[in-house]
Structure 1
Amino acid sequence: MVSKDIIKSIEDKALQLRRNIADMIGVGKVGHLGGSSSCADIVAALYFYKMKHDPQNPSMAERDRFLLSKGHAALVQYAALAEAGYFPKEELKKVKTLGAKLQGHPDMTKTPGIEANTGSLGQGLSIANGMALGLKLDGGNNKVYVILGDGELAEGQIWEAAMAAANFKIDNLVAILDRNRLQATGAITDRFNTNPIPEKWAAFGWNVIAIDGHDMGQIIEALDKADEIKGKPTVIIAETVKGKCFSFAENNAAFHNGSMTEEQYSTAIKDLEKLKV
């Protein structure tokens, strides 16, 4: 069992990631607040609890790999990389500006700690499969983690990759579904209904773990359980809230990719302050 102190420290990191996200968007700049904040708890658990990685040596052979298949939510990964020390936090102020390290989607040629260019939806799981198989061939103990969006499940390539992962018994692969139930233009069920989700992944041959994606204890437990599974890949289906922790953005598709007014930005900071204990 992980101690309450460790869980609290990771929860604090998740709040800081959300503060970084809010500051990167600021007032009047368009950014993916909703989908970045929905997976902030998961990203915090990966970077500050689970993964082997070294900010001073981003290419360390023994590192675990993390892919953000829903690459439009890059702000949450940038927030984590800055907090971990991959680059100075001052870079966060330059996000999505010409020539900056931090662009709208992850770019491995510009940003330390990025494993692949992502954001063309549907491709991340295939990339993760290849990485995980390559690491197995090298005889390493590395894990590959990939976060998918639930709107992304409408892409056929996801299911081809899911079949392949089960077929090749890629047990060093963990997919995490950020199931916030909203995509850019509305509810998943109204746009392209991919339900039932757990049953589909199980039918494709995956080990399925369902959790509350904002309960840090459950997130950590699921990541640890995935280490015990042999002979098949694991998918963690994380029930989340789009815009989590920002009262005006929660379950609001308008903040999939939107801008904040001065009043909304002020509310965002106040919302986060209230959550600090």
Structure 2
Amino acid sequence: MTTTAHPRPDVALPRNERLAAIDEFAYRLRHNVINMGQEQGQGYVGQALGAADILATVYGDHLRFRADDPHWDGRDRFLLSTGHYAIGLYAALAEAGIISRDELLTYGSDDSRLPMSGMSTYTPGMEISGGSLGHGLPIAVGMALGLRHQDSPARVFNFLSDGELDEGSTWEAAMSAHHHRLGNLIAMVDINALQADGATSGVLSTEPVHDKWTACGWRTYRVDGNDTGALLDAFDAAIAEAAPAGSPAIVLCDTRVGKGVPLLETREKAHFMRIDEDEWQICRDQLTAGHNREDVR
């Protein structure tokens, strides 16, 4: 018996049911992130909370995989280019059934399979090791090309950050993907407007980013990355035209660091957060209260 993410577009569930499942996935993912962060008292919690809706849309609705066989040849490949977002991906892997929720509490500990920066040699479901930015999309291009040569229907999903758009290697890979007509490549960018050195606009402005990806030959969508309805529609559109040969697609996602937890959404130093012990339960309470309000609406 094999297991896959649920539900997926090819299951043809009504849109409202798909959205409800994605929203619930994102809510549980955010709780996982808070629980993991408390183990260390700090970390890249803000990015993971902000990107939760993106991860939930992909893992909870679109990605083809077998939870009991992470190396299944027919799986879609999800490449986390931003290794420091690993806390968010671990939370998604747990909700997808690839790792257990109990294992999440070993995050960042000695001998854990869940290091603070993603390592493919340690973690089931982690396709590449992350660290220095700008490597993910070049690897994704090579992987998508290789899968096409193998006549595989698998797709490659690559998660990038807006900080990675500072890297020349990213744009070389973007042009290569268009040149090789990698229609089996779907990228996404978490545009949270923040980098380690400050606001993205102050470090190196990349706008107009939509126009740049379009000029590179990509099918480009820009949405509110914390609006699961907009995300679902964008990924549906991107995947509808996915093919071994064709135009690659990218979903540009404007997100808010710390989304879902007002205490963290307004924190000044939000790239790497240190959170006091008495604040973790406040984070959980705010997350639950916000989710309950959404349910009422």
Paired with 2:235 and 2:255, the residues of 1 have a C-alpha distance of 16
In structure 2, what is the Cα distance between the partners aligned to 1:160 and 1:3?
Answer: 37
Tell me whether 219-228 or 170-179 shows the greater mean CA deviation. 219-228
TM-score calculated relative to the size of structure 1: 0.96
How many Å apart are 1:228 and its aligned residue? 2.9
- 2:201 aligns with 189
Secondary structure class of the residue paired with 1:96: coil
User: Please, which of 236, 245, 250 is the counterpart of residue 260 of structure 2?
Assistant: 245
1:86 aligns with 2:101: no
Q: What are the superposed Cα offsets for residues 22-68 of structure 1, whole Å, 9 maximum, x if unpaired?
A: 11011762210111111111111111110100110111111101011
SS at match of 2:178: helix
Specify the alignment match of 2:61 in structure 1.
49
Q: What letter is aligned with 1:216?
A: T
Q: For the Cα contact (< 8 Å) 1:10–1:49, is it kept in 2?
A: yes
> Residue 144 of structure 2 corresponds to which residue in structure 1?
132
> Which has the higher mean CA deviation after the structures are superposed, 183-192 or 1-10?
1-10
> Structure 1's 51 and 258: CA in aligned 2 closer, same or farther, altered over 3 A?
same
1:179 aligns with 2:191: yes
Whether 2:279 is the aligned partner of 1:267: answer no
For residue 39 of structure 1, give the secondary structure of its aligned residue in structure 2: helix
Q: Given that residues 41 and 277 in structure 2 are in contact (C-alpha distance below 8 angstroms), is that contact kept between their aligned partners in structure 1?
A: no
1:43-94 per-position Cα deviation (integer Å, ceiling 9, x unaligned): 1111111010011011111110101111101011100111222222111111
Counterpart residue identity of residue 259, structure 2: K
How many residues end up aligned between the 2 structures? 277
**Aligned equivalents of 2:271, 2:204: Cα separation in 1:** 17
Instruction: Give the aligned partner of residue 113 of structure 2.
Output: 101
RMSD: 1.5
Deviations 1:246-270 (A, max 9, x none): 1122264512112211332122111
Task: Note the 1:22-171 alignment, pairs <5 A.
Answer: 22-26=34-38, 29-171=41-183
Query: For structure 1, which runs of at least 5 residues remain unmatched after alignment?
Result: none
User: What CA distance in whole angstroms lies between the structure 1 residues aligned with 2:235 and 2:177?
Assistant: 18
Task: Tell me the distance in 1 between the aligned counterparts of 2:149 and 2:15.
Answer: 35
Q: Do the aligned residues in 2 keep the contact of 1:175 with 1:234 (CA within 8 Å)?
A: yes
TM-score by length of 2: 0.89
Indicate the residue corresponding to 1:224 in structure 2: 236
User: Equivalent pairs: percent with the same residue?
Assistant: 36
SS at match of 2:240: coil
Larger relative contact order, structure 1 or 2 (CA cutoff 8 Å, min sep 6)? 1
